[in-house]
Amino acid sequence: MTDTRRRVKVYTLNEDRQWDDRGTGHVSSGYVERLKGMSLLVRAESDGSLLLESKINPNTAYQKQQDTLIVWSEAENYDLALSFQEKAGCDEIWEKICQVQGKDPSVDITQDLVDESEEERFDDMSSPGLELPSCDLSRLEEIAELVASSLPSPLRREKLALALENEGYIKKLLEIFHVCEDLENIEGLHHLYEIIKGIFLLNRTALFEVMFSEECIMDVIGCLEYDPSLSQSRKHREFLTKTAKFKEVIPISDPELKQKIHQTYRVQYIQDMVLPTPSVFEENMLSTLHSFIFFNKVEIVGMLQEDEKFLTELFAQLTDEATDEEKRQELVNFLKEFCAFSQTLQPQNRDAFFKTLSNMGILPALEVILGMDDAQVRSAATDIFSYLVEYNPSMVREFVMQEAQQNDDDILLINLIIEHMICDTDPELGGAVQLMGLLRTLVDPENMLATANKTEKTEFLGFFYKHCMHVLTAPLLANTTEDKPSKDDFQTAQLLALILELLTFCVEHHTYHIKNYIINKDILRRVLVLMASKHAFLALCALRFKRKIIGLKDEFYNRYIMKSFLFEPVVKAFLNNGSRYNLMNSAIIEMFEFIRVEDIKSLTAHVIENYWKALEDVDYVQTFKGLKLRFEQQRERQDNPKLDSMRSILRNHRYRRDARTLEDEEEMWFNTDEDDMEDGEAVVPPSDKTKNDDDIMDPISKFMERKKLKESEEKEVLLKTNLSGRQSPSFKLSFSGGTKTNLTSQSSASNLPGSPGSPGSPGSPGSPGSVSKSTSQMAAITTKGGLVGLVDYPDDDDEEDDEDEDKEETLPLSKKAKLESS
């Protein structure tokens, strides 16, 4: 996993004094030989390129700001900044910098700033703290200027924060706020806005504790209503006290919990609505505010989770039929908010949270809620269900399978989800899209568990296809009873497109379950009716579904397609599209091109035999002519099985040897021939050899005349074996009778020593020669009429080599010469 502690953004200051983002990467420190010193290195997280290489100079002033920012200047007009994702990473790099410069890591600045005057520098070093002006109405401008001037300097910001904490200054400022409001002193209220905003940017938890306390928080929000940049003040307090109402759907007995909920809501409101949108560096200054809200939410979830009485009452009222509609809506909204808060928890705490909800019966409760008529309640319940599915889909699957043993299909939770998807009244089908995503997660085998005792995939998919698939496909089947869709409005088309998307996913991932369903229910034929839809996106969805099926190259599917003539709607759509160059045209051509390239013989023959007349005039692509050529090749091979068999032998990878092997064997054969010719003569008569060549050449020559286009591998092998003017050293030719030709391998199992026709039998008839031991692994072809056979037993090679060695010593000299010369 990537170390997020060292993850940083690199910034440089441009001529307009604005910070430019130079990229995101991971920072490290190390000695760089070229720079002769310890340096900071940042490598981009995208491609590993070097974003920054900066030597840590002993005299450079480095500033640490807001716990996650390090800023420094490398030249007069070249300022740099590293903004860290995590405080821990910033602290690590800061320690390295301080170590090089010999400074204490507790400081926020390693050197005196160049742009500070001597007087300011002396003041910072000598004064133990920052002295605040007296908190009077007349000195508000002075206080505002002091706060604004302290923000750029980490040291002065630290001193200001300490002074505000020690003197209880914030409460005094809020008292003046009441005075200014009573006197309608707008100028004073504007100064207070600047002061309070500056205090937020000090980023101190201790100050937030004071500002967000029950007695102070509304006054702080009041100060932030008077933004000098606005012509009129905002009414935030009025909204929080009159418009926003706190509802206890279940009475909360713990006062601390109640106060924490109020506080969190108000602080969240300040962050989202009251404070102006922060710049890049101000956002880092508000990191403590984010953390304050985060930890408050964690505390709230933990306190509610521990209150068993509260949760028990919540689920009891949710499922109680006597609960009125308004109350139930409030309960569901509360539960939704509760689940949303849980997303802030750490993984182990989130596990405990959802386990608690599961034990309390959240899934049966959702089933009851989803069966209600109130659309808002169902929408909230859907959001809750999505949290559960994303957290643990296996938990949901286990529940629905157990439920199926007790209830009818109509009231199963997963079928309720499908029905809500189908009945979504939103014209854009926003809810249906969300529910389809949840169904896809539930039927995705990738997140299903497999144990030694049970396989979740097998069990759940068996359940889904038996109890749920008919509900999912019902709108599709109802709308495709004729040759064109019964309803073709936009909303229906969108819904059918969603269903097809899920079915396409199933084709890809569910293998035999979906195959059986499609073939038994004739689903593909019904889907292809949608090719006639006026909505192009729906027709393309239907085409994509068929393309996914063809892409599997499954002969069960292919036979089903051919038997039902399921290319007809596609060809019809292609012809109706005419000469328009659009996505439909390209998608259909691509499908036929796939069939041609992959050489799916059954579909090729079916398309050409049934639809060639409709497609033969399409000449702006070569796809259909290529299909026709494939078809003719198939027919020719069927008409001449001898050539088809020979071709298949030569193309068979098991017996094909590469060019280097053939050349080596050929060279060895010729060398052996030259060495041994002195001791004997070849005994194959020239006429016999010519006859053997002619016997083979005759059908191949005819085949070559009929077929001008041959694959390069076939040419190479055929030329070597038949057209070179001599026999390949890998073959031994023998014949008896004019119509029978044998090409036999020395390793043939039928030619064992001592058997008639074996290489080592001196008296075997019709066996004029053999091949030397070095060429024992050979192809063998036996042709008799239309029959072609191939025998190759490589496991027998070693045994036969030993036998050949013994025989060579005992063979007559002339026999040995015969073997070698052939």
* Inter-residue contact 819 to 772 (CB < 8 Å): yes
> What does the alpha-carbon distance between residue 554 and residue 524 come to, in Å, rounded to a whole number?
14
Structure confidence at residue 348 (pLDDT): 80
Q: How far is it, in rounded angstroms, from Cα 442 to Cα 396? A: 8
Under the phi-then-psi rule, with left for phi > 0, alpha for psi from -120 to 50, and beta for the rest, what region is 23?
A: left
Residue 642 binned pLDDT confidence (cut-offs 50, 70, 90): low
* 595-614 pLDDT per residue, tens: 999 999 999 999 999 999 99
Return the DSSP state at 352: H
Beta bridge partners of 75: 78
pLDDT tens sequence across 98-151:
888 888 787 777 765 444 443 444 344 444 567 888 888 899 999 999 998 888
Q: Which amino acid is at 635?
A: R
Tokens found for residue 271: 């962050």
Tell me the C-alpha distance between 546 and 557, whole Å: 10
- The 10s digit of each residue's pLDDT in 691-744 is 444 444 444 444 444 444 444 444 444 444 443 343 333 333 333 333 333 333
Q: What is the pLDDT of residue 760?
A: 40
List Cβ neighbours of 320 (8 Å cut-off, separation of 6 or more).
none
Tokens of 84: 């860290």
- Total number of residues shown for the chain: 822
Contact 500, 437 (CB under 8 A): no
Write down the mean pLDDT value for the chain: 77
Under CATH, what is the fold of the domain 4-101?
A: PH-domain like (2.30.29)
Query: Considering the chain, what percentage of its residues have pLDDT values greater than 70?
Result: 73
Lowest mean pLDDT segment, chosen from 92-96, 504-508, 569-573, 754-758 = 754-758
Whether 71 contacts 13, CB under 8 Å:
no
Gap between the Cα atoms of 632 and 653, Å rounded: 24
Report the side by side order of strands in the sheet with 50-55.
50-55, 37-44, 19-32, 7-13, 78-84, 69-75, 63-65
Name the more confident of 434 and 802.
Answer: 434
Q: Taking the CA of residue 302 as centre, how many other CA atoms within 13 Å lie in the half-sphere pointing to its CB?
A: 13
Q: How far is CA 344 from the centre of its chain?
A: 24
Residue 643 binned pLDDT confidence (cut-offs 50, 70, 90): low
Q: How many CA atoms lie within 13 A of 96 on its CB side?
A: 18
- Name the pLDDT band for 650 (thresholds 50, 70, 90): low
- Which residue, 724, 744, 720, is CA-closest to 663? 720
> Any idea where the domains of the chain sit in the sequence?
4-101, 139-295, 410-551, 553-639
Number of alpha helices (DSSP H) and beta strands (DSSP E) in the chain: 37, 11
Residue 740 β-bridge partners: 784
Determine the average pLDDT of the residues in 489-506.
95
DSSP code at position 286: T
- What is the greatest pairwise CA distance in the chain? 133
Q: What is the predicted pLDDT for the residue at 453?
A: 57
